[in-house]
Amino acid sequence: MIPVHFRKPLWKLLAAGGLAVAVTGCSISGVEKTATSPIDAPPAAVENQMLQAADDAMAPMGSSAIADGLTVYLKDSKGYVAPMTLDRSKQESATGQNAPEIEALAWMTADAKLAGQLPPGFTPVLPKGTVVSKVVKNPEAGSVTVDFAKPLSGIPASDERKALEAIVWTMTELPGIDKVHLTVAGQDMTELPASGLPVPGVLTRNIGINLERSPQVKVSESMAVTLYFSAKNEQGDGYFVPVTRLVERQSDRARAALSELIKGPQDTKSLEAVMLANTKVEELALKSDTVQVKLQEQDWAAGMPMPAEMMEGLVLTLTEATGAPKVAVAVNGSTKLTGADSETYEQPVERPAQINAFTG
């Protein structure tokens, strides 16, 4: 796994060469999470609304960290569904070369032969014995159909939604795919067996992932934004977790997403903020294929390094919200930004093709 360096994002500490310490998140006022229940199940109205959303989502773009990597969504030790990019060559040596969508579903299915290829603390979302009869891609329509041999029984009702999210978000990582159709023995999958949650004929990323419920927001007046926070496994390796949060409906989705990213995660026991809570957004605009954002940070001065987790979380969140492949960042009017490893951010930063690459 390529670790996210968990530095506390205080510019003065970075400028002084401070040691890496954990980021502390900021809770939204009035929302408390407990260690025993890190993710609240959203109400049925929220699930149905998000499952029926019609907007398309952009698949990731950018550079690769593994020569032949494949991004799959697995469940971490805290119960979140998170992307992990795995090395296809390792699976091919054990099972033979298959299409990437077949290999992805194999990693997402409990199998003792493949368990050792998964990152520590991560588990498949589909039970042992799950059989995929076939996967059919339709590049012209940007869709993929996954046909299961039998209903997805054996998944607890509380985890069925997570399994659905993992399948949809994994399939839409494939180039050119933004819609997913699920069938069972050739017939449309209309609901999940244990929970009875309805499954629309066309699924996109608008179903959300790791849904957050906030009592301050009325479902009928809400919209969803997906934010990328950081987390660590028991070995201390860092990774990003996407969280879909319902917010008050507004015209500028990108600005809404950035505002929520700055607020930080609700579940501060499992997730960590990637930005300071006092960061101000001076300007945010989509120009051509690039999101241009200007931030104000009172504790930052020219020459100070930018935390890598901040830049990565910012780019992932804004490209998810807009579908644009790149983000150009300025802080206090300066675009001459560099990371602690001397990486430069002066040019627009592309969304990575691989997230949370695991090299074993």
pLDDT mean over 60-82: 81
Residue 146 has pLDDT above 60, yes or no: yes
Q: What is the pLDDT of residues 16-42, one digit of tens each?
A: 222 222 222 222 222 233 333 334 445
Window from 100-109, 150-159, 207-216 with minimum mean pLDDT: 207-216
- Specify the higher pLDDT residue, 191 or 57: 191
pLDDT > 70: what percent of the chain? 80
The predicted pLDDT at position 58 comes to 28
Provide the pLDDT confidence category of residue 204 given band limits of 50, 70 and 90. Answer: very high
For the ranges 204-218, 293-307, 310-324, the maximum mean pLDDT occurs at 310-324
What mean pLDDT is reported for the chain? 83
The predicted pLDDT at position 215 comes to 77
pLDDT mean over 104-121: 95
Buried/exposed code over 157-166 (b: 16+ C-beta within 10 A; e: otherwise): eebbbbbbbb
Provide the pLDDT confidence category of residue 182 given band limits of 50, 70 and 90. Answer: very high
In this structure, the number of other CB atoms found within 10 A of the CB of residue 15 comes to: 14
- Contact at 8 Å (CB) between 275 and 263? no
Provide the pLDDT confidence category of residue 213 given band limits of 50, 70 and 90. Answer: confident
The predicted pLDDT at position 214 comes to 74
Alpha carbon 266 to its chain's center: 16
pTM of the model: 0.83
Residue 154 has pLDDT above 60, yes or no: yes
- Specify the higher pLDDT residue, 67 or 29: 67
The predicted pLDDT at position 7 comes to 29
In this structure, the number of other CB atoms found within 10 A of the CB of residue 327 comes to: 23
- Dist CA 174 CA 57 (whole Å): 12
Beta-carbon contacts of 155 under 8 Å, excluding residues fewer than 6 positions away, are 125, 126, 127, 163, 192, 193, 194
CB burial of residue 220 (10 Å; 0-12, 13-18, 19+): exposed
The predicted pLDDT at position 359 comes to 83
Instruction: List, in sequence order, every residue forming a beta bridge with 100; answer none if it has no partner.
Output: none
pLDDT mean over 293-311: 89
The predicted pLDDT at position 298 comes to 85
- Specify the higher pLDDT residue, 46 or 234: 234
Window from 29-43, 76-90, 290-304 with minimum mean pLDDT: 29-43
Provide the pLDDT confidence category of residue 303 given band limits of 50, 70 and 90. Answer: confident
